[in-house]
A and B are shown apart, each in its own frame.
Chain A
Amino acid sequence: MKQTPNVIVIEDNDDDFEALKFAFEEDGAPGLDIERCTTGPEAEHALDRLRDMAEISREDRVLIILDLRLPGLSGFDLLKTMRHDSCLRRIPVVILSSSSNQSDVIESYTAGANAYIRKPRNFDEYVDMVGSFRTFWTGCAELPVLG
C-alpha cells in the first residue's frame, strides 16, 4: 500500500499551489498524490512522517517543492536539516521562489537544493515547468527511494 505522497509542496501562496496542482493534472498525472504544507510546523510534521515511512518502506519515492519564505519557516534551514538527516538527505528538493536575487540562488544550492526555479509568471509557464520535472525525474533520472 502506498504510504507517502509523490510530491510535497511547501508553499503558502494559494495561487501558486493551485497552479502547480492544475499543472500536474494537465501534464498527465491526475492521480499524483500531492501534499501541501503552508507553515513551518506543517512542513516539520510532513518530514517527521517521511522519516517514519522511511523506516517501514524503502519503496516510496517523493519530490519536494519548497518555497523559500513561509510563515515561521526558513526554506534554507529546512533544506539544511534535511541534508543532515540520513533518512531525508537523498530526497530531491526543488526551490520554487519568486526571488531572482543571486544570493538566494547561491545559498539554496549551497544548502543542498537540487534545482532553483524562479516562480513562473503565468499558468502556461507552470505547465512547462511541471513538464520538465516529469521529463527529468522519469525520463532522465529516477527519484531515489527513501532512506
Chain B
Amino acid sequence: MPDDAAARDVFAFSEQIDREFKEQRSAFLRLRLQLLMSAAIFVIASFAIAQLYRSRERAEQQRLSRMFDTIGLHLGIVDPAGRFVFFNSAFGELFRDFGQTVSTGDMLDDITRRITPFITHEDVVTPPDAIAAGEPDIRDVTFTDGSVIRRALYRLDDGRQVILRRDVTEQHRREAECNAERDRLIADLKRSNVELDNFADIASHDLREPLRGIAINAGFLLRKEELPETARARVLRIVEMCEREQMLMDSLLEFARLGRSSDQHDVVNDPAAVVKQIEHDLISADTNRQGAIVLDNGLPPVSVDFGRLRSLFMNLIANGLTYNDSDRPEVRVGFLGPVSGDSHGRFYVADNGIGVAEDDRKAIWTAFRRIKTGRDHGPGSGVGLTFVKRNVEGYGGEIDFDSTVGRGTTFTFTLPLSDKVQADGTVASAGTNAGRS
C-alpha cells in the first residue's frame, strides 16, 4: 500500500529529525556547561591571582615601610585627591603623637587641620601648584617644642605627592654650635688682626723713632758742625745706614699688612695711566735715571686696588731699570689676553736687564733677600718681588718669569679683569676713564 509506505517514510523521517534535534540539544547543553565552567574557573583564578598580587604588594609596602623606619625617615604618598595611599610607621607615629590615627584613604588635609597649630598643612604638604614637577620642595620646619623637621616634597608626573620627613633637630643644634664657634673664631681673628696692626704700628713707630733721632742728629753734625773729612764720611755713613734701616722697617710693616688683607677690589679702568705715571716718577722726574718704559699695547680694566696695582707695576718696572747694565735700559709692559675659562687676564713686564741666574730663581721671591750681582744697584729692602707675588696671589692670580742672564727677564702674571672686559679681551663699554675709578 502506497499510503502506508508513505506514512512510514514520514514517520521515519520525523523520528530521525527528532533524534538529531535531541543530539544537537545535548551537544549545546554540554557546550554551555563547558563555557560556564570555564568562566567560573577564570573568575576564581583571577580572584586568586589578584589576592596573590595584593598580598605581595602589601608585603613590599611593609618592607619599604620598615626600610624607611630603620633610617629614621617619614615617608608618605598622597594621591592627586589628597588621600593617603601609603605611609610608613614612622609617618603614622607623627600623627599618633598628636592623638590622631591615620590610615590609608584618609584625607591628609583633614588630619593636619585637626593637629594645627602643632603642625600646619604647609608643614606636611605644599599645594601641588607650588611645586614644579620633578623639583623637590625642601624646607626645615621648627615646631613649638623646638624640634626641627626637614621636609622634602616631590610631585610625581601622575599628580601623586611623595612626602619625606626627617628629624634634624640634633643636626640643627650642631650646626648652630658650629656657626657660633665659627663666629667666635672670626671675631677672635679680627681682634687679633687689629691687635697685630696696632702692635706693628706701635713697634714700627717705637723702632723708627730712635733711628730718626740718630739720622736727625747726624744731620745736625753735618750741617752745623765743622767736622774733619774722615768724621764727615763716617757721619754720612751713619745717615745712610739709618735710611736703609728705616726703609727695611717700612717694608716690613707693609709686608705684614699685605699678608692680612686681600679683599680690596677696586677697579682701575686704565692701568696704562698707572704705568705712565710710574714712567714719570721713575724717569722723567729723576734726572739720574736713564731708560725707557714702553707700553706695547693697551691694558684692559682690572679689578685690583689702585695702590696695589701701582705697587705691583712699580716694583717690577723699577727692578727692570735698576738691575740693568744696558746702555739704554728698557722695560716693556703689555697685555697678552684673557686666561681661558677664568676671569683673569695675563700681563707682562719685560726688561733688557742683567737677568736672573738659574740658581737664584727661587731666592728672588724670598722677602728681605737681594740677589748678589757683584755690583751696587742702590738702596733696596729686598721685598719688592715678594710684594708683587703676594699681591698677584692675593687676587687669585699667578706669576712666573723667563730669564736669560745678560739678556733680560720677562715677568708674566695674571690679574682679575674688570666685569667690563669680555672673553675676547675687548672692553664692553667705551667709557674707560684714566686712572682709578
In angstroms, Cα B395 to Cα A127, docked, is 41
Name which of A100, A121, A124, A126 has the most chain B CB atoms within 10 A of its CB: A121
Bits for A103-130, please: 1 = Cβ < 8 Å to B, else 0: 0000000000000000111111010000
In angstroms, Cα B211 to Cα A98, docked, is 12
In angstroms, Cα B224 to Cα A122, docked, is 14
Is B246 an interface position by the 8 A CB rule?
yes
Is A70 an interface position by the 8 A CB rule?
no
For A20, give the chain B residue with the smallest CB separation: B216
For B243, give the chain A residue with the smallest CB separation: A121
Is B220 a contact of A121 with CB atoms below 8 Å?
no
Is B175 an interface position by the 8 A CB rule?
no
Name which of A15, A19, A122 has the most chain B CB atoms within 10 A of its CB: A122
In angstroms, Cα B216 to Cα A18, docked, is 9
Chain A residues with CB below 8 A from B281, complex form: none
Chain B residues with CB below 8 A from A119, complex form: 212
In angstroms, Cα B213 to Cα A121, docked, is 9
Is B104 an interface position by the 8 A CB rule?
no
Is A15 a contact of B212 with CB atoms below 8 Å?
yes
For B213, give the chain A residue with the smallest CB separation: A15
Dominant SS among interface residues on chain B: helix
In angstroms, Cα B222 to Cα A26, docked, is 13
Smallest distance from the beta carbon of B306 to chain A beta carbons, Å? 13
Is B208 a contact of A98 with CB atoms below 8 Å?
yes
In angstroms, Cα B242 to Cα A15, docked, is 15
Bits for B228-266, please: 1 = Cβ < 8 Å to A, else 0: 000000000001001100100010010000000000000
Per a CB cutoff under 8 Å, which of A13, A18, A99, A100 touches B220?
A: A18
Is B219 an interface position by the 8 A CB rule?
yes
Is B205 a contact of A121 with CB atoms below 8 Å?
no
Chain B residues with CB below 8 A from A99, complex form: 201, 205
Is A121 a contact of B212 with CB atoms below 8 Å?
yes
Is A27 an interface position by the 8 A CB rule?
no
Chain B residues with CB below 8 A from A15, complex form: 212-213, 216-217
Is B219 a contact of A122 with CB atoms below 8 Å?
yes
For A98, give the chain B residue with the smallest CB separation: B205
Is B23 an interface position by the 8 A CB rule?
no
In angstroms, Cα B198 to Cα A101, docked, is 9
Chain A residues with CB below 8 A from B239, complex form: 122
Chain B residues with CB below 8 A from A122, complex form: 212, 215-216, 218-219, 239, 242-243
Is A121 a contact of B209 with CB atoms below 8 Å?
no
Is B223 an interface position by the 8 A CB rule?
yes
Is B212 a contact of A98 with CB atoms below 8 Å?
yes
Per a CB cutoff under 8 Å, which of A13, A100, A101 touches B250?
A: A100
Is A133 an interface position by the 8 A CB rule?
no
Within 8 A of A (CB), among B178-234: 201, 205, 208-209, 212-213, 215-220, 222-224
Is A22 a contact of B242 with CB atoms below 8 Å?
no
Chain B residues with CB below 8 A from A123, complex form: 215-216, 218-220, 222-223
In angstroms, Cα B257 to Cα A101, docked, is 11
In angstroms, Cα B201 to Cα A99, docked, is 7
Is B246 a contact of A121 with CB atoms below 8 Å?
yes
Chain B residues with CB below 8 A from A13, complex form: 209, 213
Chain B residues with CB below 8 A from A100, complex form: 250, 253
Is B212 a contact of A22 with CB atoms below 8 Å?
no
Q: Quick one: given A99-B201, A99-B205, A101-B201, are A22 and B215 in contact (CB under 8 Å)?
A: no
A-B pairs with the 4 shortest C-beta distances? A123-B219, A122-B215, A15-B213, A15-B216
Chain A residues near B (Cβ < 8 Å): 13, 15-16, 18-19, 22, 26, 98-101, 119-124, 126
A-B contact pairs, 22 of them (CB 8 A): A13-B209, A13-B213, A15-B216, A18-B220, A22-B220, A22-B224, A26-B223, A98-B205, A98-B209, A98-B212, A100-B250, A101-B201, A121-B215, A121-B246, A122-B216, A122-B218, A122-B219, A122-B239, A122-B243, A123-B222, A126-B216, A126-B219
New A-B contacts (20) at CB < 8 Å, excluding given A123-B218, A123-B222? A13-B209, A15-B216, A16-B212, A16-B216, A19-B216, A22-B220, A22-B223, A98-B208, A98-B212, A99-B201, A100-B250, A100-B253, A121-B246, A122-B215, A122-B239, A122-B242, A123-B215, A123-B216, A123-B220, A126-B216
